Structure 1
Protein backbone atom coordinates (compact mmCIF):
# COMPACT_ATOMS: atom_id res chain seq x y z
CA UNK A 1 0.00 0.00 0.00
CA UNK A 2 1.29 3.44 -0.82
CA UNK A 3 2.17 5.81 1.99
CA UNK A 4 -0.33 8.44 0.83
CA UNK A 5 -3.23 6.01 0.82
CA UNK A 6 -2.25 4.73 4.25
CA UNK A 7 -2.13 8.26 5.67
CA UNK A 8 -5.55 9.09 4.20
CA UNK A 9 -7.00 5.88 5.65
CA UNK A 10 -5.52 6.58 9.09
CA UNK A 11 -6.83 10.15 8.93
CA UNK A 12 -10.34 8.96 8.10
CA UNK A 13 -10.24 6.47 10.95
CA UNK A 14 -9.10 9.19 13.32
CA UNK A 15 -11.92 11.51 12.18
CA UNK A 16 -14.47 8.70 12.62
CA UNK A 17 -13.18 7.97 16.13
CA UNK A 18 -13.27 11.66 17.03
CA UNK A 19 -16.83 12.04 15.74
CA UNK A 20 -17.89 8.95 17.71
CA UNK A 21 -16.43 10.32 20.93
CA UNK A 22 -17.78 13.82 20.32
CA UNK A 23 -21.31 12.63 19.61
CA UNK A 24 -21.72 10.70 22.84
CA UNK A 25 -19.58 7.63 22.62
CA UNK A 26 -17.16 9.17 25.11
CA UNK A 27 -19.00 7.60 28.02
CA UNK A 28 -17.30 4.33 27.07
CA UNK A 29 -13.94 5.91 27.85
CA UNK A 30 -14.89 7.86 30.98
CA UNK A 31 -12.39 5.75 32.96
CA UNK A 32 -9.53 6.95 30.77
CA UNK A 33 -7.48 9.59 32.58
CA UNK A 34 -8.62 8.35 35.98
CA UNK A 35 -6.45 5.26 36.27
CA UNK A 36 -4.68 4.50 39.58
CA UNK A 37 -1.27 5.66 38.26
CA UNK A 38 -2.52 9.06 37.07
CA UNK A 39 -1.34 11.91 39.30
CA UNK A 40 -3.75 14.75 40.02
CA UNK A 41 -3.04 17.61 42.42
CA UNK A 42 -5.62 20.37 42.82
CA UNK A 43 -5.12 23.32 45.14
CA UNK A 44 -6.57 26.82 45.08
CA UNK A 45 -4.92 28.60 42.18
CA UNK A 46 -2.92 25.53 41.16
CA UNK A 47 -3.74 22.41 39.20
CA UNK A 48 -1.30 19.68 38.15
CA UNK A 49 -2.20 16.58 36.19
CA UNK A 50 0.21 13.89 34.98
CA UNK A 51 -1.56 10.98 33.25
CA UNK A 52 1.27 8.47 33.68
CA UNK A 53 -0.77 5.24 33.67
CA UNK A 54 -3.04 6.43 30.85
CA UNK A 55 -0.12 7.33 28.60
CA UNK A 56 1.62 4.05 29.41
CA UNK A 57 -1.54 2.23 28.32
CA UNK A 58 -1.71 4.27 25.08
CA UNK A 59 1.95 3.54 24.40
CA UNK A 60 1.47 -0.19 24.91
CA UNK A 61 -1.60 -0.27 22.66
CA UNK A 62 0.08 1.72 19.88
CA UNK A 63 3.20 -0.45 20.11
CA UNK A 64 1.08 -3.60 19.81
CA UNK A 65 -0.87 -2.24 16.84
CA UNK A 66 2.27 -1.10 15.01
CA UNK A 67 3.97 -4.44 15.73
CA UNK A 68 0.93 -6.24 14.32
CA UNK A 69 0.82 -4.03 11.21
CA UNK A 70 4.52 -4.58 10.59
CA UNK A 71 4.16 -8.33 11.13
CA UNK A 72 1.20 -8.57 8.75
CA UNK A 73 2.88 -6.41 6.10
CA UNK A 74 5.67 -8.99 5.87
CA UNK A 75 3.15 -11.56 4.63
CA UNK A 76 1.67 -9.34 1.92
Structure 2
Protein backbone atom coordinates (compact mmCIF):
# COMPACT_ATOMS: atom_id res chain seq x y z
CA UNK A 1 0.00 0.00 0.00
CA UNK A 2 2.84 2.39 0.83
CA UNK A 3 4.50 1.68 -2.50
CA UNK A 4 1.26 2.37 -4.37
CA UNK A 5 0.76 5.68 -2.60
CA UNK A 6 4.35 6.72 -3.34
CA UNK A 7 3.95 5.85 -7.02
CA UNK A 8 0.63 7.70 -7.28
CA UNK A 9 2.11 10.73 -5.54
CA UNK A 10 5.08 10.69 -7.91
CA UNK A 11 2.75 10.47 -10.91
CA UNK A 12 0.73 13.43 -9.65
CA UNK A 13 3.88 15.49 -9.15
CA UNK A 14 5.11 14.53 -12.64
CA UNK A 15 1.74 15.44 -14.19
CA UNK A 16 1.76 18.80 -12.40
CA UNK A 17 5.30 19.52 -13.60
CA UNK A 18 4.45 18.68 -17.21
CA UNK A 19 1.02 20.35 -17.22
CA UNK A 20 1.98 23.13 -19.69
CA UNK A 21 2.78 20.46 -22.28
CA UNK A 22 -0.06 18.09 -21.31
CA UNK A 23 -2.67 20.84 -21.70
CA UNK A 24 -1.73 21.17 -25.39
CA UNK A 25 -2.74 17.56 -26.12
CA UNK A 26 -6.08 17.25 -27.93
CA UNK A 27 -7.63 15.14 -25.14
CA UNK A 28 -11.15 16.32 -24.48
CA UNK A 29 -11.64 17.48 -28.05
CA UNK A 30 -11.54 14.17 -29.88
CA UNK A 31 -14.04 13.11 -32.55
CA UNK A 32 -16.80 11.19 -30.81
CA UNK A 33 -16.90 13.42 -27.72
CA UNK A 34 -20.44 14.64 -27.18
CA UNK A 35 -20.95 18.39 -26.87
CA UNK A 36 -24.48 19.81 -26.95
CA UNK A 37 -25.06 23.56 -26.72
CA UNK A 38 -28.56 24.99 -26.33
CA UNK A 39 -29.85 28.33 -25.05
CA UNK A 40 -28.78 28.57 -21.41
CA UNK A 41 -27.58 24.96 -21.38
CA UNK A 42 -24.33 23.22 -22.27
CA UNK A 43 -23.65 19.49 -21.97
CA UNK A 44 -20.26 17.91 -22.58
CA UNK A 45 -19.40 14.22 -22.27
CA UNK A 46 -15.92 13.16 -23.47
CA UNK A 47 -16.79 9.53 -24.23
CA UNK A 48 -13.98 8.96 -26.75
CA UNK A 49 -11.45 10.56 -24.42
CA UNK A 50 -12.64 8.35 -21.55
CA UNK A 51 -12.28 5.20 -23.68
CA UNK A 52 -8.80 6.21 -24.85
CA UNK A 53 -7.59 7.00 -21.32
CA UNK A 54 -9.08 3.72 -20.05
CA UNK A 55 -7.25 1.70 -22.71
CA UNK A 56 -3.94 3.45 -22.02
CA UNK A 57 -4.24 2.96 -18.24
CA UNK A 58 -5.21 -0.71 -18.73
CA UNK A 59 -2.17 -1.33 -20.94
CA UNK A 60 0.17 0.41 -18.48
CA UNK A 61 -1.20 -1.63 -15.56
CA UNK A 62 -0.92 -4.82 -17.59
CA UNK A 63 2.73 -4.03 -18.46
CA UNK A 64 3.65 -3.29 -14.82
CA UNK A 65 2.02 -6.50 -13.55
CA UNK A 66 4.14 -8.68 -15.84
Interval of TM-score (by shorter of Structure 1 and Structure 2)? 0.7 to 0.9
Which is bigger in relative contact order (C-alpha 8 A, separation at least 6)? 2
Instruction: Note the aligned Cα RMSD (angstroms).
Output: 1.2
Task: List gaps (5 residues or longer) in structure 1.
Answer: 72-76
Q: What's the CA shift string for 1:42-76, capped at 9, x where partnerless? A: 112100011110000000001001111111xxxxx
Higher Cα Rg, which structure: 1
Q: Aligned pairs, how many? A: 65
Task: List gaps (5 residues or longer) in structure 2.
Answer: none
Moved over 3 A (4+): none
